Structure 1
């Protein structure tokens, strides 16, 4: 039974960043040109110069033997996502102790993994990559692509929560300037709506313990599917993505 310790009280707000130890942005690219498709997910340091993006796109296209016209499409996708992230920089976001449920539902090559767990978004020393490596070790997952995919999924959910926090702070400031009482921080984020405010329930010191009757909800599920099943799944996902 896992316990999440809160420890000392933390500041209520900080300048926007990923609520993790390393300020890495989750990037997801899905580009199709002339019937060929490139899909990938990875993290990027927003402090890196844009010239690195150009080098990355050219190198990726060369390594995968993609036509040269993939490069500008990849650049547009990556730069657009980084621009959105940078638009929040300098803004205030709240980081009160909040435990949020995160979910993983991924298929990477022949491995299918589903899991859910609690995450303290106020812990700016958290490390999704280390968590993913430990999870893969615990579950005896040997595919080296699974760990990074899990880390990206975690970062995507944390990024949504952080950006929603900034939006809520902006709205609170706007309302306050009009002379009305600013609302307390709230979010339309699905993850944030499911969160537990630990100050409210436990104060500045406490722990969250999973109830025995809820243990089964947090058990990870790992399946290894055959190549034939992979082919069927790929075809289904391709059809669904085109019809979306």
Structure 2
């Protein structure tokens, strides 16, 4: 259950993550000379730029990655942070709304699937605390699962926040008297829902008893053989994608010089 905050501001606010901590979700998926590195984590955008290269060096050292990964890790992080900073100062329009979020992850041997409603007008929300509670309630012992859930939530909230910039812009240029609430941003997380219409000004977000079976989280523990098969399939798909990208790049190079 999450409380609905009827006093939340309807006026546009400056861009930020709609959470208590303004952390940016970062996702890395690098393939260099046949060696692949994947990771996902959050980053404080206020940290100095020098911390990025230090992090990249520590990561490569700890995981015994070739030195060529250092610059690639740093560049990927810097690119994602630059995108985040490009939104700063712009207005986003967040009303008293909730969004359905979905979790569909495999972390090591653990598969997690769930869907729930999130109040994006509550700027004190904490994805990390939610993930810790989720893992505790479901007796998930793998310490990597909680951070992965938190990153997934932040990625969806980040997308909604960036799209809300367009909503605020449309509100400003719309017809006189047009209500900002008529503009609803779509995202991979689904369509926003007006809390006031669903629950009234004093309501709370709850899962209706008759719908519990629809929202019940699913946690599966895979065998090592199943994990190996999935890893092999993902590696094959990544290899095929890399070959297609190389062919496309080669074609474009020949065409541009033709």
The verdict on a shared fold, with TM-score over 0.5 as the criterion, is: yes
Q: Of 183, 186, 192, which residue of structure 1 is paired with 2:184?
A: 186
Say whether 1:217 aligns with 2:214: yes
* C-alpha contact 1:9 1:204 (8 A) present in aligned 2: no
Residue 60 of structure 2 aligns to a residue in which SS? helix
* C-alpha contact 2:5 2:96 (8 A) present in aligned 1: no
* C-alpha contact 1:27 1:78 (8 A) present in aligned 2: yes
Worse-superposed segment, 207-216 or 111-120: 207-216
2:133, 2:97 → 1: CA distance?
23
Q: Which ranges of structure 2 fall in alignment gaps of 5 or more residues?
A: 242-258
Residue 233 of structure 1 aligns to a residue in which SS? helix
Say whether 1:236 aligns with 2:233: yes
Give the 3 Å change call, closer, same or farther, for CA 239–175 of structure 1 in structure 2.
farther
2:62, 2:3 → 1: CA distance?
45
* C-alpha contact 1:93 1:169 (8 A) present in aligned 2: yes
Residue of structure 1 equivalent to 2:8: 10
Residue of structure 2 equivalent to 1:140: 139
Cα displacement (A) at 1:242: 3.6
Give the 3 Å change call, closer, same or farther, for CA 94–203 of structure 1 in structure 2.
farther
**Structure with more relative contact order (C-alpha pairs < 8 Å, separation 6 or more):** 1
Q: How many residues get paired?
A: 239
Q: Which ranges of structure 1 fall in alignment gaps of 5 or more residues?
A: none
Aligned ranges 1:163-178 → 2 under 5 Å: 163-175=162-174
Say whether 1:50 aligns with 2:46: no
1:23, 1:102 → 2: CA distance?
19
Say whether 1:123 aligns with 2:122: yes
Aligned ranges 1:196-215 → 2 under 5 Å: 196-215=193-212
2:50, 2:188 → 1: CA distance?
35
Residue 57 of structure 1 aligns to a residue in which SS? helix
Residue 87 of structure 1 aligns to a residue in which SS? helix
Residue 231 of structure 1 aligns to a residue in which SS? helix
Cα displacement (A) at 1:186: 2.1
* C-alpha contact 1:113 1:221 (8 A) present in aligned 2: yes
2:137, 2:99 → 1: CA distance?
22
2:152, 2:107 → 1: CA distance?
12
What is the alpha-carbon root mean square deviation over aligned residues?
A: 1.9
2:66, 2:80 → 1: CA distance?
23
Cα displacement (A) at 1:174: 4.4
Cα displacement (A) at 1:208: 2.9
Say whether 1:30 aligns with 2:29: yes
2:212, 2:38 → 1: CA distance?
35
* C-alpha contact 2:6 2:96 (8 A) present in aligned 1: no
Residue of structure 2 equivalent to 1:67: 66
